[in-house]
Amino acid sequence: MAEPYEKLQRGDGLLLVDVQRDFCAGGRLAVAGADEIVPLLNNWITAATAKNIPVYASRDWHPVRHPSFQEQGGKWPPHCLADSDGARFHAGLRLQEWLAITKGVRFDQDQYSVFDQTGFAVQLRREGVRRLWVGGLALDVCVFASVMDGLQEGFAMQLIRQATRPVNEKDGDESLDRMARAGAIIIDGS
């Protein structure tokens, strides 16, 4: 059976959003089922690498006392502290040659989207990428924000549904709806 990653072609890029230890089992902001997406993402990484398709991996990278942390009045427990073990990519992720997009470093606001003040769109255009295949964490937070911004920036966005998990199931479903309505393609299958 044809796997969806066989559709990868010139002009595509693979984007892994925040597949970091703090969002996985045992992490500070663990997302249910997060570890299950890793083997799938590895298939995508392998397929992309074989076809010379660029791989991008974003990471949440917060200073201590970041405004998104509960003690600072934010929504989340402390997570993904810059340079900490929890901020590292999942140990099972077979990243080979990839480009990291670091976000969430500001003291005055959070950045959920990989496109938020990172220059990522400029880099994608420079590298001839017009369409992004997206997986990672979390579906209803940073994946959602990134897909919506990517569309806004004019990229075709393909969400790999099985390769993402939400913090909150209901918000995840709503995010899928909103992304689809905004023009993202939701891909089913591994």
The pair of structure tokens assigned to 181 is: 């309505």
CB of 137 to ligand VGL, least distance (A): 5
Q: Scanning residues 148 to 187, which ones bind ligand VGL (CB under 6 A)?
A: none
Q: Scanning residues 94 to 123, which ones bind ligand VGL (CB under 6 A)?
A: none
CB of 2 to ligand VGL, least distance (A): 30
Q: Scanning residues 44 to 83, which ones bind ligand VGL (CB under 6 A)?
A: 60, 68, 76
Burial class (CB in 10 A: 0-12, 13-18, 19+), 49: middle
Nearer to Zn ion, 116 or 156 (CB): 116
- Tell me, yes or no, if 142 is annotated catalytic: yes
Buried b (16+ CB within 10 A) or exposed e, 143-175: bbbbbbbbbebebbbbbbeebbbbbeeeebeeb
Among the options 35, 103, 110, 140, which is catalytic? 103
Q: Is 137 a binder of ligand VGL (CB under 6 A)?
A: yes
- Is residue 31 within 8 A of residue 38, CB to CB? The reply is no
Q: Is 22 a binder of ligand VGL (CB under 6 A)?
A: no
- Is residue 43 within 8 A of residue 3, CB to CB? The reply is yes
Phi, psi of 88 (to 5 degrees): -75, 155
| Contacting range for ligand VGL; rule: CB under 6 A; set: 3-11, 92-100, 137-145, 148-156 | 137-145
Nearer to ligand VGL, 17 or 53 (CB): 17
144-150-152-158 Cα dihedral, nearest 10 degrees: -80
| Contacting range for ligand VGL; rule: CB under 6 A; set: 32-40, 92-100, 133-141, 179-187 | 133-141
The pair of structure tokens assigned to 75 is: 């929504």
Binding residues for ligand VGL, rule: CB under 6 A, are 18, 60, 68, 76, 137-138, 141-142
